[in-house]
Amino acid sequence: MKNFLVQNIVSGSIFQTQLNLEKDYLNFFKKLKYKQLPGNTNYTHMSLDNNLFEKYPKELKEIKKLIHMALKELIKNVYMYDCSFKLTTSWATRSDSFEESSVHRHLNSWLSGVFYLQDNNSISFFNKDTGGFLGDPREWNQYNTLTTNIKTHKNTLLLFPSHLYHRIPPLDLKGVTRYSLSFNVLPKGFFGSGDSQVFF
Ligand SMILES: [Fe+2]
């Protein structure tokens, strides 16, 4: 095969890390109240509150601190910004076997994250920037893929740009109800430059 010089145009990357928590938070998330997402009888359930970090500052102090540290590292050393940031919304998701979410992205947000409380989780990300030619290729690879499935384990934190489309795929969870914590992030204080500088 010809050796092409490949220059990837990145529309977004997904960053994964493990949080070293001292406590187990599964029971806390089990006790929250949930409602099913509208639109389909097999959609997942979302917590009634979408501001869990504000509503439960004591209970979630350790998780919030470690998420904050991971975000700081990502923003400062990977994205190379020195801005402050704020966790805006934060909510829990409850999934039973074969429940799923629609393909969606998070609006009014810069970065998003999901923290997993148990093993054997899956989330799918979608490349919506491809053209519409030819149908399925002979073989899927990093250059033609439309979907990236990520498997995560207990205490995994995923961080990604909020514009990336994603969904929870339907899975046989073998009777185990799955819980996760999601959140959105916006920059805060002075950010931007020139006539685009804002104070938020
Ligand atoms: Fe989401």
Ligand 1 centroid distance, CA of 123 (Å)? 9
Q: What spacing in Å lies between the alpha carbon of 100 and ligand 1's midpoint? A: 11
Q: Cα separation of 151 and 87, whole Å?
A: 24
* Domains defined for the chain, CATH in brackets: 15-124+152-193 (2.60.120.620)
**Ligand 1 centroid – CA 147 distance (Å):** 15
Instruction: Report the pLDDT value the prediction gives residue 42, as an integer from 0 to 100.
Output: 92
Per residue in 129-167, pLDDT tens? 776 777 888 998 888 888 999 999 999 999 999 999 999
Return the C-alpha torsion angle 55, 59, 60, 62, nearest 10.
150
In a 13 Å sphere around the CA of 140, the CA atoms on its Cβ side amount to: 7
What is the model's pLDDT at position 183?
Answer: 98
pLDDT value at residue 100: 94
Mean pLDDT of the chain: 93
Split at pLDDT 50, 70, 90, the class of 22 is very high
Tell which residue, 184, 169, 29, has the closest CA to residue 93. Answer: 29
Distance 185 CA to ligand 1 centre (A): 13
Using alpha carbons only, give the angle 86, 88, 92 rounded to the nearest 5 degrees: 125
**Residue pLDDT, tens place only, 57-101:** 999 999 999 999 999 999 999 999 999 999 999 999 999 999 999
d(CA 61, ligand 1 centre) in Å: 22
Distance 159 CA to ligand 1 centre (A): 11
User: Is beta strand 178-188 parallel, antiparallel or unpaired with respect to 147-152?
Assistant: unpaired
What CA–CA distance (Å, rounded) separates 200 from 177? 38
Calculate how far, in angstroms, residue 170's C-alpha sits from the geometric centre of ligand 1: 14
Q: Is the pLDDT of residue 6 over 90?
A: no
CA–CA distance, 84 with 55 (Å, rounded to integer): 22
2 pLDDT higher than 90: no
pLDDT of the residue at 146: 87
How buried is residue 17: exposed, middle or buried, by Cβ count under 10 Å (0-12/13-18/19+)? middle
Residue 12, pLDDT above cutoff 90: no
- CA-CA distance, 153 to 22, in Å (whole number)? 16
Written as one string, the DSSP assignment of the chain is: ----------S---EEEE---SS--HHHHHHS-EEEPTT-TTB-EEES-SBHHHH-TTTTHHHHHHHHHHHHHIIIIIS----EEEEEEEEEEEE-TT-B--SB--SS-SEEEEEESSSSEEEEEE-------SSS-SS--TTT-SEEEEEE-TTEEEEEETTSEEEPPP---TTPPEEEEEEEEEEESEES-GGG-EE-
pLDDT attached to residue 127:
84
Distance from residue 1's CA to the centre of ligand 1 (Å): 39
CA of 106 to the centre of ligand 1 (A): 6
